[in-house]
Amino acid sequence: IMKRLSIVLSLSLFGLGGVATGQVPSSEIETSSFEPVTWERLVNAEEEPQNWLMYSGTFDSKRHSRLDQVHNRNVNRLELKWTHQLSALDRAETTPLVVDGVMFITEAPSNVLAVDAATGRPYWRYEHELPEDLRICCGRNNRGVAILGDTLYMSTLDAHLAAIDARTGNLLWASAAADYRSGYSKTAAPLIVKDKVVTGIAGGEFGIRGFLDAYNASTGTRDWRTYTIPGPDHPDNASWSGDSWRTGGSPTWITGSYDPELDLVYWGTGNPGPDYNGDVRIGDNLYADSALALDGDTGDLSWYFQFTPHDVHDWDAIQIPVLTDLEVDGRVRKVMMWANRNAFFYVIDRETGEYLSGTPFAKQTWAEGLDENGRPIRRPNTFPTPEGVLVAPDASGGTNWQSPAYSPRTELFYVMAFDGEAEFYIRDEEYIDGERFTGGGQQRMLPIDSYTSAVRAIDPRTGNRRWEYQVQPQTWSGLLSTAGDIVFGGTVDGYFYALDAVSGEELWHISLGAEVRAAPMTYAVDGQQYVAIAAGNVVYSFGLIEEVD
């Protein structure tokens, strides 16, 4: 059911000024175009900032680039260098990879293409054919690929992991993770861990049982699977009443992080199911809404931290864990920073799972605070009712799946935050295989632009907000920080902008004419730094205006 589409015709690449056009001489990238991406290259990705070798740039997911040709004093001289029109007319949520001058872009619903990173000239395109009876929750999305050696790995909406030759676009193998007819799907970029491809699953609104998988990168055979809801042979299964664990959700639908030194994979889990009706699943509902730390070789659970026990507001904890070393109480700790959908910003010891601190970063009315172990102290009368109860944040959260960023230079954590609220209501709902299973819903009481949406810079040592930059209305763009002391982001009304990473001052912006739902990334070819972003169904790449002697 899969096929490869070779592009052998002339493509016109259009957009604003500085756009490249050209003939496609071959559907195959020349062997010399890029070197195989070895495990050593991935572990040391920070040392080759001209490339962007994985979804979040590096295993610690800082989304920080050491490139500084574009900096806070010349970013206003950015101009468009090229655009590439995606063939699919769905929204683009992709973060491209760049390897030695070759860019790999995913497009909705489950396609990937290779282009010249300096010109946008296409090499090949692979299209994964999908069944017509897909059951998906939240859009025909694909957010990116992983690479190891000469092979790309892509998740697909029909719950497959596909391996594609990065030089030709030919399909090498495809492994089915689950039955899409029951609501299972895959939208996130996989993560390479040594010789394995670690990949999550989506479909929490369909009463699935979540899991995280690791596949042999060469053969596509599954090496391990860790369920995010423990079965009846595990004591933590008692956190689910009756058989509710069987349809309890807890998906893993965004890419995680990895610490090579500790050999721990960190991944977030989504909400329990049904989303809003907790009466049918009494208990904490482990390990929904949690950070999991798993052994990279076996998938064994090392530790977990649950952000929102017994979630009844759809506050998935699928945000990307950001790893760094941070001085806490006079001692340098290996920490994980996490701006959670429940509107609290957490710092956790990533070796042990010990809770270190937690502070609100967005509007919240559901908790008095967090206790000494990081467990929320709930306010009464905030659970959904048949009539509706007003709670902040709303179901979209204080933030959502948008990628945050962290700059080692400023030591600030940057997150796209939202101060929304909604009335949450509950209803009885019977589980039916392959049908949505939410048990209620929410309704905002005011227009969307009545709520504040902003980039916020957080000091992770204190949780204090250093600055904010408002981007009204609610915006779904991820963020990028660079050694040029810039934070890049986008807006729902189509603007791409650059902020001073220290002060939050706007330094530059341009209208792209379509919603930005992706995260920016940066790379360099032949000594020139580019900054790329997808907006609508177009990928744009910017560089500095060339100086004329």
pLDDT tens string 424-453: 999 999 999 989 999 999 999 999 999 999
What Å distances lie between residue 395 and 312, 364, 398, 399, CA to CA? 10, 12, 9, 10
Asked whether the predicted pLDDT for residue 191 surpasses 70, the reply is: yes
What Å distances lie between residue 377 and 167, 307, 394, 507, CA to CA? 53, 11, 18, 41
Over residues 175-200, the mean pLDDT reads 96
β pairing state of 528-535 and 538-544: antiparallel
Q: What is the pLDDT of residue 32?
A: 65
User: Which phi and psi angles does 242 have, rounded to 5°?
Assistant: 55, -135
Identity of the residue numbered 54: M
Identity of the residue numbered 501: A
Over residues 374-401, the mean pLDDT reads 98
Asked whether the predicted pLDDT for residue 327 surpasses 70, the reply is: yes
Q: Which of 15-24, 292-301, 368-377, 451-460 has the lowest mean pLDDT?
A: 15-24
Single pTM value for the model: 0.94
Helix, strand, coil percentages, rounded to 5, for the chain:
5, 40, 55
Supply the DSSP symbol for 235. G
Quote the CA–CA distance of 352 and 370 in Å, as a whole number: 19
Cα dihedral angle (172, 1, 270, 263), rounded to 10 degrees?
Answer: -10
Asked whether the predicted pLDDT for residue 301 surpasses 60, the reply is: yes
Asked whether the predicted pLDDT for residue 203 surpasses 80, the reply is: yes
263 is catalytic: no
Asked whether the predicted pLDDT for residue 70 surpasses 60, the reply is: yes
Asked whether the predicted pLDDT for residue 287 surpasses 50, the reply is: yes
- 33 pLDDT tier (thresholds 50, 70, 90): confident
In terms of Cα–Cα distance, which of 535, 537, 468, 465 is closest to 506?
Answer: 468
Strands across the sheet containing 405-407: 405-407, 412-418, 453-458, 465-470
Over residues 232-240, the mean pLDDT reads 98
Over residues 450-478, the mean pLDDT reads 97
The count of other CB atoms within 10 Å of the CB of residue 279 is 14
Supply the DSSP symbol for 447. -
Q: What is the pLDDT of residue 188?
A: 96
215 vs 133: which has the higher pLDDT:
215
Sequential DSSP letters for 496-533: EEEEETTT--EEEEEE-SS---S--EEEEETTEEEEEE
Strand partners, 227: 211
Size (the chain), residues: 549
Helix or strand or coil: residue 450? helix
433 vs 133: which has the higher pLDDT:
433
Q: What is the pLDDT of residue 549?
A: 55
- 88 pLDDT tier (thresholds 50, 70, 90): confident
Mean of all residue pLDDT scores within the chain: 93
Q: Which of 259, 275, 314, 316 is catalytic?
A: 314
User: Which phi and psi angles does 453 have, rounded to 5°?
Assistant: -120, 130
Sort 455 into a burial class: Cβ within 10 Å, 0-12 / 13-18 / 19+: buried
Over residues 392-420, the mean pLDDT reads 98
390 in Cβ contact with 423 (< 8 Å) = yes
Q: What is the pLDDT of residue 547?
A: 74
In terms of Cα–Cα distance, which of 341, 329, 228 is closest to 285?
Answer: 228
